[in-house]
Amino acid sequence: MSTIALLAITGIGLGGLYFLVAAGLALIFGLMRVLNFAHGAFLLLGGYFGWLLGAHLFGGAVTITNLQFVSVLIVATLTGAVLGTLTELVLIRPLYRREIAQVLVTVGLTLVIGALVIGIWGADPKPFPTPAWVHHTTRVLGATVPNSRFLLIGAALVVLIALQLFLRHTRYGLIVRAGVENRTMVSAMGIDVRRAFTLVFALGGAIAGLGGALAGVYFGAVSPDLGTVLLIDAFIVVVIGGLGSISGAALAALAVGLLQQFANYYVVGVGDLAIVLLLVVVLLIRPRGMLGAAT
């Protein structure tokens, strides 16, 4: 029983990390139909700027206070938001309705930022600063569970609820949804849809930056390949959940995290194969994903 509880909670925690990485990707594609391959770069720089704050302002300590940890998460989130905003303004806005050009530009941005990270900080992993309680454990149903898993679960729930509230109950959320359906009509009403779309990119980047910092917590370090590795998992989650569906991404992330943990426990190294097989099965049964809208 304790083994099942440990696998389940760690799987949900891993699913929380996958959702944090995939949520911004699903948000940007669902509302703007932009397949943003630079999302991994947002995540990577968010994690590295969070590490930089700990390395330079907090004396390079691996263990920091709760207040310092909150500041690390804020810096990572703001880094992603700023990068997302600049990407939309400078690179994506001139290329709306030119999907191939968008893909090429965002892939190029990812390669450039990855190379810059290696050139500036090297290829070695950097220990990520965390509070002492993150390294402790909590007993649940006889299982000893690392507290970092509960942190990931809590962060994913907060982001999911916040996104749903933004899209359904705020003025800009309604503008964005209306602009996606009929941009010309919304613009004719005197509403600047471009500003709303920039906000969506900023939100997607902010969530990615937060995900980068929390990935540093989960793995204990940040490294130059962090964005690339997690971006692959994020795309799998988004496709399984349904392109553009936030709720679908949450359900898919949960399923992928649990499947990967249980598969790797019972057959070492088979977790990645298991989630690819899940992707194939879902696409064969429901080509638009679990909660994807019909096109």
Q: Residue 267, exposed/middle/buried by CB under 10 A (0-12, 13-18, 19+)?
A: exposed
Taken as a whole, the chain contains a residue count of 295
Cα 83-89-94 angle, rounded to 5 deg: 135
Q: Is the pTM of this model over 0.85?
A: yes
| Angstrom distance (rounded) from CA 68 to CA 47 | 15
What is the CATH number that goes with domain 2-285? 1.10.3470
pLDDT tens sequence for the chain (295 residues): 678 888 899 999 999 999 999 988 888 877 677 778 888 899 999 999 999 888 777 666 677 888 989 999 999 999 999 999 999 888 888 887 777 888 889 888 888 999 999 999 998 999 998 888 988 888 887 878 889 999 999 999 999 999 888 888 887 777 766 665 566 666 666 666 777 788 888 999 999 999 999 999 999 899 998 888 888 888 899 999 887 788 889 999 999 999 999 998 888 778 888 898 999 999 888 888 887 665 4
